Chains A and B, each alone.
Chain A
Amino acid sequence: MTRKQKRGWMIGGGVATLTIAAILVLFALKDSVVFFHTPSDIAEKPVPAGNRIRLGGLVANGSVVRGAGTTVSFKVTDTLKDIPVNFTGVLPDLFREGQGVVAEGTIGTDGTFTADSVLAKHDENYMPPEVAKSLEARGVKLGGSAHPQTKSQ
């Protein structure tokens, strides 16, 4: 094998691997990316029923209702609009009324969101950044949720 051929093998292999990886990435990005929406986003621009999305906001006060078994329903609100959510499973420790959540699942034709996972962060002061950002963008004050900042003397 000549010098050129040997180097050709390496370059060819590299290009082939990168091409395959690029194709995999493109397909995976098309299929497995989940968009994040707030209730107001959905009110403005409805999401087709059955599309997998992440719904973020606050758990509306007084909205949590336990059903049969481990089914629970609650409303996710961004204080302007809210969306009813059904979830079957065990809620995270920090799930509480008034706290930020992100629910992942699909929205039904009746406008009810069926979540298969519910996230709440493991920090008292936490609010998912997407939630905080979109709430701020809509002019909602986030009192009392800021992390105490260290100030130098």
Chain B
Amino acid sequence: MIIEFGHFALILALLVAAFQTVVPAWGARVNDGRLMRVAEPAAVSQLFLLLIAFCALMHAYVTSDFSVANVAINSHSTKPLIYKISGVWGNHEGSMLLWVLILALFGAAVAVFGNNLPATLKANVLAVQASIALAFLLFILLTSDPFARLASPPADGNGLNPILQDPALAFHPPFLYTGYVGFSIAFSFAVAALIEGRIDAAWARWVRPWTLAAWMFLTIGIAMGSWWAYYELGWGGWWFWDPVENASFMPWLAGTALLHSALVMEKREALKVWTILLAILTFSLSLMGAFIVRSGVLTSVHSFAVDPARGVFILGILVVFTGGALALFALRAKDMRFGGLFAPISREGSLVLNNLLLVTSAATVLIGTLYPLLLEATTGDKISVGPPFFNMTFGPLMLPLLLAMPFGPLLAWKRGDALAAAQRLIFAAMAAVVVVAVAYAAFERGPWIAPFGIALGAFVMFGAITEWATRIKLGTAQFDEVARRAVNLPRSNYGTLLAHFGIGLMVVGIVATTAYQQERILVMKPGDSIEIGGFELAFKGAAPGRGPNYREDIAQFDVTRGGAAVTRLEPSKRLYDAPPQPTTESGIHASWRGDLYVVIGDEQTPGSYAVRAYFNPLVRCIWLGALIMFIGGGISLSDRRLRVGAPKKSSRSSPIAAE
């Protein structure tokens, strides 16, 4: 009964979305305030209806109602409660429901919090947002009904794929989707602005907080996915350049570019045409990601069940929305005037460089991801494009980006002084040189270039600190003035420096763990011991164990360092009851120096196991960096100046850099 209620709510949401697509847009066209205002209650009720549908499905999962096909296929009565809940979005149908729920959430948020938006813009934004929801609701109801019933319900369900039964992965999709789908708002704003044909600095001010919110969640969502892959897949790696990973990474790159170009547009009214285009492209890449993940056209280690009909439908959505928006763009772009000009060495110039490199790198990732598809379609050859491709193309593009990053915020708008910025960064550069020396001393072997990579990350981190020190006049002013400036420094500045600092930290982690990872693969019998990463690892033997819904063989390793006991690691091999699938659970000892990472393979001869041990230096910096970026985004979002309802402030009031 509740299920039918949910299904009904979903159909009602479709009708509301159709209404919300047509009526407010018509109202904006004929300038009828009453027609435009219906968008707000429509957006809120659409969210409400989708919440009902979502809760109905969740109820079916929690109560293990196996008469619902989706539950029977993806859940099991003995599964722990948290995974019954996360099982709702652990499958194609349920995750699409989450997708439209988040679409509606952003729409309703604009309806409720966007009080300062001009009536026509708001009506158009909500209409475009509703049209996206309409397309996806149609998709769900026609190809992926989560509420389909089974005529003869099974006694128990098939169970959730065991590798998805994990706390980090349970909450990874909601974060990821909030980011992914959140860019729809930037898209809706862009299309609404094109429909109206009016684009100014205020537009960027309205769009930026939404983009920032989506970006934050996408950042942490990708990081959670990477962390999960690291400890759950048992390969010791944290990023595989897999098509599904790329699918979320491309919108991140474009979205990061969008955040920066919207800043230029807001402050200087420049890059208007470009920013609009970027807003369209960012969400198009999100749609492209949905297509890649759900159509099965590309081989991936973690995509959903394959169904060509769904792929074609999503491709249709992609073509209609991206194509439509780009056509509208082509029609209107010639009427838009270019804004303020600036010298190449200036804040704007540095942000243009940022955009150029980010968008180009997103394009190389796109080529690497889609090239196998194109080649197979044209020549029939089947190929795979692996990490070497991305390392060769993406890496060199990041180099100038990271080098320029500390300079950007130290340059003034319009015309900057590169020399003055360089002088300010002298301490950061010196610190980076020290880091090169320290890295050479700390890691004996490895590529000669790696210490420079680590130093580059350190330079970005010190650069962020330098920017902060400059702004609060640390070292040049009296203590009370420094303190006052530190307190008064806008939160958006703190957000920027934290985000930049986080990137630097991440680079340090990436380079260190890539260049200096130690790996040992061998067969160990009880009593054997090996040395890795400064630890001694002694295998004590393996014993069978039993969890709530799996059996396992737990291996025991005593870890010592210089004779002193450190910890005991217990990697295991599990066999789940439903579905009967084996998984590898890694044993990880995290320390400041790096992670000791152990997994066991098959039992070779009775009692002896294949063992894979890694030492991953500084690997935690990668996720810590992402967490700092997330926090930076949050702090920036809480800035009064960025708040959606904040009064309009003169855009010329802060001709900054170093004052």
Do A and B pair up? The answer is yes
Shortest Cβ distance from residue A20 to the other chain B in the assembled complex, whole angstroms: 8
Nearest residue (CB) in A for B396 is A24
Q: Which of A117-131 contact B (CB under 8 A)?
A: 119, 121-125, 128-130
Chain B residues with a Cβ closer than 8 Å to the other chain, count: 66
The prevalent SS among residues of A at the interface is mixed
Shortest Cβ distance from residue A152 to the other chain B in the assembled complex, whole angstroms: 5
B299-A130 in contact (CB<8A): yes
Shortest Cβ distance from residue A2 to the other chain B in the assembled complex, whole angstroms: 10
Q: For the complex, what is the distance from the CA of A149 to the CA of B122, rounded to whole Å?
A: 41
A10-B352 in contact (CB<8A): yes
Which residues from chain A contact B73 at a C-beta distance below 8 Å? 148, 150
B521-A89 in contact (CB<8A): yes
Q: A29-B371, A90-B610 are in contact. Are A152 and B145 (CB under 8 A)?
A: yes
A69-B388 in contact (CB<8A): no
Q: Which of B329-365 contact A (CB under 8 A)?
A: 341-344, 349, 352-353, 356-357, 360-361, 363-364
Shortest Cβ distance from residue A148 to the other chain B in the assembled complex, whole angstroms: 6
- B interface footprint on A107-151 (CB within 8 Å = 1, 0 otherwise): 000000000000101111100111000100000000000011111
Contact of B149 among A29, A34, A88, A153 (CB under 8 A): A153
Which residues from chain A contact B161 at a C-beta distance below 8 Å? 122-123
- A interface footprint on B385-397 (CB within 8 Å = 1, 0 otherwise): 1101100110011
Q: For the complex, what is the distance from the CA of A21 to the CA of B360, rounded to whole Å?
A: 7
Q: For the complex, what is the distance from the CA of A28 to the CA of B302, rounded to whole Å?
A: 25
User: Any chain A CB within 8 A of the CB of B63?
Assistant: no
User: Any chain A CB within 8 A of the CB of B327?
Assistant: no
Which residues from chain A contact B522 at a C-beta distance below 8 Å? 69-70
Shortest Cβ distance from residue A131 to the other chain B in the assembled complex, whole angstroms: 9
A122-B163 in contact (CB<8A): yes
- B interface footprint on A1-37 (CB within 8 Å = 1, 0 otherwise): 1010011011001100110110011011101111111
User: Any chain B CB within 8 A of the CB of A44?
Assistant: no
User: Any chain A CB within 8 A of the CB of B158?
Assistant: yes
Which residues from chain B contact A27 at a C-beta distance below 8 Å? 392
Which residues from chain B contact A33 at a C-beta distance below 8 Å? 371, 383-385, 389
User: Any chain A CB within 8 A of the CB of B591?
Assistant: no
Nearest residue (CB) in B for A6 is B341
Which residues from chain B contact A130 at a C-beta distance below 8 Å? 299, 382
Nearest residue (CB) in B for A153 is B149
Shortest Cβ distance from residue A35 to the other chain B in the assembled complex, whole angstroms: 5
Which residues from chain A contact B364 at a C-beta distance below 8 Å? 21, 24-25
Which residues from chain A contact B343 at a C-beta distance below 8 Å? 1, 6
Shortest Cβ distance from residue A74 to the other chain B in the assembled complex, whole angstroms: 13
Q: A21-B393, A28-B392, A130-B382 are in contact. List 17 more A-B contacts (CB 8 A).
A: A3-B341, A6-B344, A9-B349, A13-B356, A17-B360, A25-B368, A32-B385, A33-B371, A34-B384, A35-B383, A66-B604, A94-B581, A129-B299, A150-B69, A152-B145, A152-B148, A153-B151
